[in-house]
């Protein structure tokens, strides 16, 4: 069962504060079927490149939101980890559309992972 959205919201706000970010929205994707096994059975590349992926997004008005795939919300710890990763992309690089594929792959992605797991900011 998905953790209470209010708990996830407060985790998100804690992580926003840690990076001194504000005004970032949150979207929980919950496309049918609402079944973790369904998402877990999908290939990772599919998760990364379709509309169901967990990612930082920029809105028309230049504000940001982070959308979370149901898998990212499976437990509070998993959610916090995903939130740290996506918020670090915003903190460091702004929106990923501005970043080329190779920069994302070799610089921006690894930087977000270092922050996500080791709290290292590069
Ligand atoms: Zn990333």
User: Which domains are present in the chain?
Assistant: 5-118 (3.30.2010)
Q: What is the 86 CA–ligand 1 centroid distance (Å)?
A: 6
Q: What is the 39 CA–ligand 1 centroid distance (Å)?
A: 19
Q: What is the 40 CA–ligand 1 centroid distance (Å)?
A: 19
What tens digit of pLDDT does each residue of 67-118 get?
Answer: 998 888 889 999 999 999 999 999 998 755 667 778 888 888 899 999 999 9
Q: How far is CA 104 from the centre of its chain?
A: 15
State how far the alpha carbon of 88 is from the alpha carbons of 43, 46, 112, 122, in Å. Answer: 25, 22, 6, 10
Looking at residue 94, its pLDDT comes to: 77
Q: What is the 57 CA–ligand 1 centroid distance (Å)?
A: 12
The pTM is what?
Answer: 0.84
Q: Determine which helix (DSSP H) or strand (DSSP E) holds 68, and give its type and residue range.
A: strand 64-68
Q: What is the 4 CA–ligand 1 centroid distance (Å)?
A: 25
């Amino acid at each position: 069962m998905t953790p209470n959205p209010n708990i996830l919201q407060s985790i998100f706000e804690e992580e926003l504060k840690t990076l001194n970010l504000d005004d970032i929205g949150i979207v929980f994707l919950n496309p049918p079927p609402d079944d973790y096994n369904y998402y877990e059975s999908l290939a990772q590349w599919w998760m990364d490149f379709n509309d169901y992926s967990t990612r930082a997004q920029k809105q028309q008005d230049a504000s940001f939101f982070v959308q979370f795939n149901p898998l990212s919300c499976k437990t509070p710890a998993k959610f916090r980890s995903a939130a740290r990763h996506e918020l670090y992309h915003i903190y460091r690089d702004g929106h990923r559309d501005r970043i080329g594929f190779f920069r994302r792959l070799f610089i921006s992605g690894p930087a977000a992972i270092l922050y996500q797991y080791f709290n290292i900011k590069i």
